[in-house]
Amino acid sequence: MRRPIGIREVAEAAGVSITTVSHALNGKGRLNDETRRRVQIVAKELGYRPNAIARNLAGGRSGLIGLAVAQTLEGQFAVSDFAYYAQLMSAATVEAIDHGYALVLASGAKGGWSTIRLDGLIVVDPIHDDPLSTEFKERGIPVVTTGRVPGQEDGYWVDNDHRAGTRSILDFLSARGAQQIALIASPPVTSYVMDAHEAYEQWCAERGQEAMVAVARHDLTESAGFDATRELLRGRRRPDAVYATLDRLALGVLLAAQSEGLTVPSDLQVAGCTDSDAGKNHHPSLTALALDPEQIGREAVAMIAHLIEGAEPPQPHVSIPTTILPRESTLPQALATPRPVAEASGAGASDAGASDAGASDAGASGADASRAGR
Amino acid sequence: MRRPIGIREVAEAAGVSITTVSHALNGKGRLNDETRRRVQIVAKELGYRPNAIARNLAGGRSGLIGLAVAQTLEGQFAVSDFAYYAQLMSAATVEAIDHGYALVLASGAKGGWSTIRLDGLIVVDPIHDDPLSTEFKERGIPVVTTGRVPGQEDGYWVDNDHRAGTRSILDFLSARGAQQIALIASPPVTSYVMDAHEAYEQWCAERGQEAMVAVARHDLTESAGFDATRELLRGRRRPDAVYATLDRLALGVLLAAQSEGLTVPSDLQVAGCTDSDAGKNHHPSLTALALDPEQIGREAVAMIAHLIEGAEPPQPHVSIPTTILPRESTLPQALATPRPVAEASGAGASDAGASDAGASDAGASGADASRAGR
DNA sequence: AGAGGGTGCAAATACGTTTTTGCACCGCGC
DNA sequence: GCGCGGTGCAAAAACGTATTTGCACCCTCT
């Protein structure tokens, strides 16, 4: 078992000094382009990977990026979906390692971080006046949020375009015959819920549809969705479709429908935000607005790596497109049924092909800026 | 902004060399006890915290401990409860930092770890023949599991004593008048479910009670608990109490009871394993078997830190006691009602005082070995 | 009294990078 | 022909700790 290849081995193989190798790989010193390229090639051939520990020691950094999830606000959980966070965290971890960092959990951190120095912080679904992120910003430590901090559009963030995503799923349900779509929302503590709510109201106003909104209990369990649905179904007008801002709430909708003797999707179409195995395996399976949490995690890490290294990231705001995954809880696309509603204002002109292709209806959302800068 | 206190500052303040400080704090060299103590005191007074990065560089370690969760087996989730893992991970993170390590997520890691070197791995709720842990063991990297690897009692692990915990909750329900307690279990992929199942069967056999078990669908949602409960309620004999091995399943039981017109707790008492906010805030609130995931996380980290540093941990197996949290979903303790059942065989002689004290019925479980070796 | 061994601490080296400094060389202008 | 600025690279210092080696000193035994 030989010692791993370090900068020394690369230097020797390339016939230069270790200084030159370091400069060549980091784009730092004054080097002949030819030399620089040659060193890079040699390093790649040898499979050189710089030792993150040594790099951090020399650079005066800790190499640690905090990941804060599960913020609570007055006992209200801002998060609940395990799969979403597991995917986000998992992808972010791998990406962080590629950048020479390690991702550590900062959830529930109560001052434990005063002693160890985090180089940066990623806050998932921040709430208003999030204490952790403001503290870090004051200490001059870069912060990137996943979802925007409610009430402020600036700062560095990665987010889905939930306004466009919500419109796309409403169009989707409408194209499948829904006349009265209700929204089941979690309490408005994170930006994505506010976005969905806002987009829903606007969409209804444009269509002349009555807005039917039920805000679910803050525990965000299936029971919360269950109860919110019952409340809706007892209103004077019954919805024929429901969009829930959380997968777990949508599963509660399915339970409530079952309990009330309604058949899904013929009596009630149901769609939820966030794809998950639970929704996929349920009977009927749940149509979902997929958010691509892996991509969100990766982008957030890439962005904070830029910030840590003192470079301005390509863009301060990155939007990740959403995708609709049609499943059994919604009806198939009606066959060429011209609908009498006023023509939609440009937005959701999708819905071209068959409805069960799994990844159809894609690209319905914010192509915005996302993948521009390289 | 002054530079942080390093080993040099401590050395100067104590009037010794940095070598001596290092030796004094790590218990390594040959030092006068008096000197050793003095240095330790000075270090504490100055609030010295060794730089983990430098320590790792010198020690040839990465300082990273992997935390693997969300193992899947043929599409079956072995985990589902967010709160449990959030608490475990959070506590483990803090503990790791205290030991000079950083905790990184290894969930879903597919070879991403070949390049970076983890010093150790903690696997939460391992499944049979867990691939990640066997791979690490083969590479000679220490592994600690939280919950035992099904089918093997050896290895290093931290676990609740689920056999004792299950017996205690069954005794608890029995003391509140339950005559026919059913078990709703998740599929037996992790040791704790197997333990609970086994303990339940044994308890029933001892009491002469008929065992009523429903195995829930593997998605482990409230829907799964809902459906499992309906199945139970349609059996020839109806249970008057249910214990579910997962909080979320228990919430599904509550929904099903509501849907079937049963009143909890008078018609049906319900208890679940794992405490959570969702269960606490539900109406009726859910009686739970608390597992103390924080403690589990801390013990696991402490154990693996021992192993990484080449020392045998005080004990290879640590059992954390469980606690019953009585809430509204179970009846109050019957007032001195001598029950006609054969006297319990020693185990659950608890239940002394009032029933809503929150932390009563404590210490019902495995005092076993846990907190012995300091 | 001198050899031998144990004790208590400090100096020096190592860990693998990054960054700063230094040095040679070349072409250019005066 | 002599300085002078720019170029291309290497030597050396630094990051903060752990570990190895080295060196006094004291005690004891012969």
Q: Using one digit for the tens of pLDDT, what is the confidence trace for B325-368?
A: 999 999 997 655 555 544 444 443 444 333 343 344 444 443 33
Cβ contact B10 with chain C strand, < 7 A: no
Identify the pLDDT of residue B344: 41
Cβ contact B7 with chain D strand, < 7 A: yes
**Biggest distance spanned by C-alpha atoms of chain B:** 81
Residue B34 (CA) to nucleotide D26 (C1'), in angstroms, measures 18
Interface test with A, best of B71, B87, B90, B247 (most A CBs within 10 A): B90
Residue contact B109–A102, C-beta within 8 A: no
Question: Residue B165, SS3?
Answer: helix
Residue contact A255–B223, C-beta within 8 A: yes
Residue contact B89–A102, C-beta within 8 A: no
Measure in Å the smallest separation between the Cα of B340 and chain A Cα atoms.
Answer: 37
Cβ contact B56 with chain D strand, < 7 A: no
Residues of A in contact with B64 (CB under 8 A): 102
Pick from B63, B81, B221: CB nearest A53:
B63
**For strand A323-325 and strand A287-290, is the pairing parallel, antiparallel, or unpaired?**
antiparallel
Whether A277 contacts B215, CB under 8 Å: no
Question: How is residue B10 annotated by DSSP?
Answer: H
CA distances B295 to B90, B92, B127, B159, B312, Å, are 11, 8, 21, 10, 20
Q: Give the residue range(s) of CATH 3.40.50.2300 domains in chain B.
A: 64-153
> Which CATH architecture describes the domain B7-50?
Orthogonal Bundle (1.10)
Structure tokens at A33: 């382009």
Identify the pLDDT of residue B290: 96
Pick from A57, A90, A93: CB nearest B53:
A57
Measure in Å the smallest separation between the Cα of A270 and chain B Cα atoms.
Answer: 15
Cβ contact B60 with chain C strand, < 7 A: yes
**Residue in chain A nearest B91 by alpha carbon:** A108
Identify the pLDDT of residue A99: 86
Question: Which class for A207: exposed (0-12), middle (13-18), buried (19 or more C-beta within 10 A)?
Answer: middle
Which nucleotides in chain C lie less than 7 Å from some protein C-beta?
7-12, 14-21
Nucleotide nearest to A20 (CA to C1'): D9
Distance CA B109, CA B114 (A): 10
- Which region, left, alpha or beta, applies to residue A155 given φ > 0 means left and ψ of -120 to 50 means alpha? left
Cβ contact B22 with chain D strand, < 7 A: yes
Given a cut of 70, the residues of chain B with pLDDT beneath it are: 1-3, 70-80, 107-115, 334-374
Beta bridge partners of A122: A67, A144
Residues of B in contact with A53 (CB under 8 A): 53, 56-57, 62-63
Residue contact B106–A93, C-beta within 8 A: yes
Measure in Å the smallest separation between the Cα of B93 and chain A Cα atoms.
Answer: 6
- Residues 6+ away with beta carbon under 8 Å from B212: B180, B181, B182, B183, B232, B235, B237, B239
CA distances A274 to A103, A247, A287, A335, Å, are 24, 6, 10, 27
Residue contact A248–B221, C-beta within 8 A: yes
Identify the pLDDT of residue B10: 95
Q: Which residue is nearest to nucleotide D7 (CA to C1')?
A: A30
Q: Which amino acid is at B204?
A: C
**For strand B212-215 and strand B241-244, is the pairing parallel, antiparallel, or unpaired?**
unpaired
CATH of domain B64-153: 3.40.50.2300
Print the SS3 string covering chain A.
CCCCCCHHHHHHHHCCCHHHHHHHHHCCCCCCHHHHHHHHHHHHHHCCCCCHHHHHHHHCCCCEEEEECCCEECCEECCCCHHHHHHHHHHHHHHHHHCCCEEEECCCCCCCCCCCCCCEEEEECCCCCCHHHHHHHHCCCCEEEECCCCCCCCCEEEEECHHHHHHHHHHHHHHCCCCCEEEEECCCCCHHHHHHHHHHHHHHHHHCCCCEEEECCCCCCHHHHHHHHHHHHCCCCCCCEEEECCHHHHHHHHHHHHHHCCCCCCCCEEEEECCCHHHHHCCCCCEEEECCHHHHHHHHHHHHHHHHCCCCCCCCEEEECCEEECCCCCCCCCCCCCCCCCCCCCCCCCCCCCCCCCCCCCCCCCCCCCCCCC
Q: Compute the radius of gyration of chain B from its Cα atoms.
A: 24
Given a cut of 70, the residues of chain A with pLDDT beneath it are: 1-3, 70-80, 107-115, 334-374
Residue B173 (CA) to nucleotide D10 (C1'), in angstroms, measures 78
Residue A322 (CA) to nucleotide C13 (C1'), in angstroms, measures 56
List the A156-160 sheet strands across, edge first: A317-320, A156-160, A143-146, A120-124, A64-68, A102-105, B102-105, B64-68, B120-124, B143-146, B156-160, B317-320
Interface test with B, best of A98, A139, A226 (most B CBs within 10 A): A226
Identify the pLDDT of residue A227: 93
**Residue in chain A nearest B80 by alpha carbon:** A82
Residue contact B222–A255, C-beta within 8 A: yes
Residue B57 (CA) to nucleotide D16 (C1'), in angstroms, measures 9
Residue contact A56–B53, C-beta within 8 A: yes
- Residues 6+ away with beta carbon under 8 Å from A41: none
Instruction: Tally Cβ neighbours within 10 Å of residue B274.
Output: 24
Cβ contact B17 with chain D strand, < 7 A: no
Cβ contact B18 with chain D strand, < 7 A: yes
Cβ contact A52 with chain C strand, < 7 A: no
Identify the pLDDT of residue B79: 62
Identify the pLDDT of residue B240: 96
Identify the pLDDT of residue A273: 95
Question: Which class for B124: exposed (0-12), middle (13-18), buried (19 or more C-beta within 10 A)?
Answer: buried
DSSP string, B209-236: PPPEEEEPPTT-SHHHHHHHHHHHHTSS
Which nucleotides in chain D lie less than 7 Å from some protein C-beta?
7-12, 14-21
Residue B19 (CA) to nucleotide D30 (C1'), in angstroms, measures 37
Q: Give the residue range(s) of CATH 1.10.260.40 domains in chain B.
A: 7-50
Pick from A90, A252, A282: CB nearest B107:
A90
Helices of type H across B188-313:
191-207, 222-233, 247-260, 277-281, 293-308
Question: Residue B85, SS3?
Answer: helix
Cβ contact B298 with chain D strand, < 7 A: no
**Residue in chain A nearest B64 by alpha carbon:** A102
Structure tokens at B335: 């007032």
Nucleotide nearest to A25 (CA to C1'): C18
Interface test with B, best of A277, A280, A298 (most B CBs within 10 A): A277
Cβ contact A59 with chain C strand, < 7 A: yes
